[in-house]
Amino acid sequence: MRNPRVREAVFRIRLRSSLTFKHNTTLNRGRIGVECRFACYAILMGEIHSILGNRAAPSRSDGPGRGKRVVVAMSGGVDSSVAAYLLAEQGYEVIGVTMRLFAVTDENAARLNRSCCSIEDVDDARDVCRAIGAKHYFMNFEKEFKKYVVDYFVSEYERGRTPHPCLACNDKLKFEFLLRRAQFMDADFVATGHYARIEQHEDEWHLNRGVDPSKDQSYVLFTLGQEQLSQLLLPIGEFDKDEIRRIASKAGLPVADKPDSQDICFIPSGDYKAFVEPRLTVKTPGNIVDSDGVVLARHDGVHRFTVGQRKGLPLPGGSPRPLFVTDIDADKGRITVGYAEELLRHRLAAGGVKWVSGVAPDSGARVEARIRYHGADIPAFVIPEGDGAVVEFESPQRAITPGQAVVFYDGDRVLGGGMIDRALPEVDTSDRFPGRISLRAAGRGHAFEGASAKTL
């Protein structure tokens, strides 16, 4: 089958068949075979006619997308819906895809609502596609999501690290597996509703922040490389959130007033401990100690803690000042606690570092670095070391958390980033930062005591 559109039709048959078989396991094998042969023939004829016909159909405008096909990842929310609408208005042939990612085993939830892509979300995405004249497909990515997001999420907590599941989901699900499916469907591009921008400068693609600083999502896109950026469209990055809702309302999209999702999509309750514990493959209890190694208490497992945590520590009373988790040693099951100033560090080591350009700076680079999603951008110096890097900050950073991302910026442009492995001991970097703020000058024991310890 050399024709990619025919391959797409066969792909759809396989997808439909897999969903049908999943819900008809009581049928005997012979009956399934007979039904499948008739169903596949009918679907094949319909899909080939639909694909070949729609590909040649005139676009609604003479915009930049005329004659080009784009697969839009649609969650059923307003952002991805407006992304699809804007692309349709530009003349693209839009195909909406909603990914089934995870089935929530909540017996109190409605039967059809036990997934992070609820039946209501799927219906919303389908209704938007119907409104803009686009096709819509519901694809099952549960197997991939479990392996690359859920299993990663749990294993990171087992290792005493604090994961960022959105990074894993973007990296593997949206910008690898969905991109492959889109290519199989003869699409020219994939699009998402992320608040970020892509620009081409001569032969290089740049990833930039979204224009709305309160919604900017470039932090979770640092893993994108040149090939992916060349095939990706981010149509809402030029707008702020209020504009997106106005566009949705003016276009009559049924999701114009739909609230934004807030929590980790596969943990709607927000209780990550209750989610992680039954999925642990190893549980590491141990001691809680102070910075001098004095045992203060016992704990049930390192997965219950994150660097910077203050609330919920099983400690006896009597401390003159609040105590925070300052270090987690998963191998020994040891949780170290200390005062707020013990969370401050100027340096970190990162692994799995990726550079958007594909090329690391030879001798390091001055950047602005961010160590959490809604954190500040801090002047820093990045020193590449193999597939990792050492990052030195101009001012001390609170609660450098293993498992979270450190992302490098040059103004609005994303240069790259990596995953934080550990905070590093203090050394003198005043030659790189003559005006460097010392730990003492940062306000030892006072400036950070009231800060939130939540890192997810």
Tokens (6 digits) for 106 = 């909540």
pLDDT number for residue 105 = 53
Q: Is pLDDT at 152 greater than 90 in this prediction?
A: yes
- pLDDT confidence bin for 116, thresholds 50/70/90: low
Better-predicted residue by pLDDT, 435 or 304? 304
**Percent above pLDDT 90 for the chain:** 62
380 pLDDT above the threshold of 80: yes
Span 321-328, average pLDDT = 96
Given a cut of 90, whether residue 41 has pLDDT beyond it is no
**What kind of fold does domain 60-282 have according to CATH?**
Rossmann fold (3.40.50)
Q: pLDDT at position 110, please? A: 44
pLDDT of residue 427: 85
Most confident of 3-7, 36-40, 104-108, 244-248: 244-248
Answer whether residue 59 shows pLDDT above 60: no
Of 30-34, 216-220, 231-235, the poorest mean pLDDT is in 30-34
- The pLDDT, as a whole number, for residue 247 is 98
Is 345 or 262 the better-scoring residue by pLDDT? 345
Calpha distance 8→144 (Å, rounded): 20
The CATH homologous superfamily to which domain 342-424 belongs is: Translation factors (2.40.30.10)
Task: Grade residue 37 by pLDDT with cuts at 50, 70 and 90.
Answer: very low
Q: Report the CATH fold assignment for 283-338.
A: SH3 type barrels. (2.30.30)
Q: Is the pLDDT of residue 244 over 90?
A: yes
pLDDT the model gives residue 286: 97
- Joined together, the tokens standing for residue 338 give 């200390």
* pLDDT for position 213: 94
pLDDT band at 168 (very low <50, low <70, confident <90, very high): confident
204, pLDDT greater than 90: yes
Residue 392 burial (CB count, 10 A): 20
Average pLDDT rounded to a whole number, residues 451-456 = 33
Which active-site residues does the annotation give?
169, 265
∠ CA 349-149-260, rounded to 5°: 100
* Per-residue confidence (pLDDT) for residue 268, from 0 to 100: 74
Q: Would the pLDDT of 369 be above 50?
A: yes
pLDDT of residue 62: 59
Find the radius of gyration of the CA atoms of the chain.
25
Tell the burial category of 70 from Cβ atoms under 10 Å away from its Cβ (0-12, 13-18, 19+): buried
The mean pLDDT of the chain is 82
Closest CA to 264 of 152, 120, 419, 416: 152
